[in-house]
Amino acid sequence: MTKDAGLLLGDAAKAIGVSQDTLRRWERAGKLRTRRDSANRRRVPTREVERLSRRPQREPAGDSFSARNRFPGVIRSVETDGVMALVEIEAGPHRVVAAITRDAVEELGLAPGVPATAAVKATSVMVERT
């Protein structure tokens, strides 16, 4: 088959990163154009696969940390109580508050005015000194 013939539905689904059922739904909804080959199999034109494969460019995660949502800023307050601490970071127009251990505050040397980055992953906020 030539490149213009497109990909079989399963190959197109794999290339786009969705299931074959999703592609069938998209076809019924008019979001995807397909054509049939001589064996009556669905073929997805290469153009359609490229269009549907485009994704926004993600920010790099950095060399040693997997969290992608990073907010560099300056520590505005540190409140410790027992084994826990609340650290407030002013990151541009945002204020991020993280509950971390007192040991982490001491190990990282966190104090008001110190540059730090809030790294948000899932429901957790992690703090690293920058």
For 69-107, what is each residue's pLDDT tens digit? 888 999 999 999 999 999 999 998 989 999 999 999 999
Q: What are 51's two structure tokens?
A: 């269009």
Phi/psi at 53 (5° precision): -85, -15
**CATH topology classification for 69-129:** OB fold (Dihydrolipoamide Acetyltransferase, E2P) (2.40.50)
pLDDT of residue 3 exceeding 90, the answer is no
pLDDT the model gives residue 69: 80
Other Cβ atoms less than 10 A from the Cβ of 97: the count is: 13
Per the model's pLDDT, the better-predicted residue between 119 and 9 turns out to be 9
CB of 124 closer than 8 Å to CB of 112 = no
Kindly state the helix (H) or strand (E) to which residue 20 belongs, with its residue range.
helix 20-29
pLDDT the model gives residue 26: 93
pLDDT of residue 124 exceeding 50, the answer is yes
Burial tier of 4 (Cβ tally within 10 Å: 0-12, 13-18, 19+): exposed
For 54-63, what is each residue's pLDDT tens digit? 766 555 545 5
b/e sequence 69-81, b meaning 16+ C-beta within 10 Å = ebbebebeebeee
b/e sequence 25-64, b meaning 16+ C-beta within 10 Å = ebbeeeebebeeeeeeebbbbbebbeebeeeeeeeeeeee
State the Cα–Cα distance between residues 40 and 130, nearest whole angstrom: 59
Query: pTM for this structure?
Result: 0.46
- DSSP 8-state symbol, 56: P
For 17-33, what is each residue's pLDDT tens digit? 889 999 999 999 999 99
**CATH topology classification for 3-53:** Multidrug-efflux Transporter Regulator; Chain: A; Domain 2 (1.10.1660)
Domain boundaries, the chain: 3-53, 69-129
Same fold yes or no, 3-53 and 69-129: no
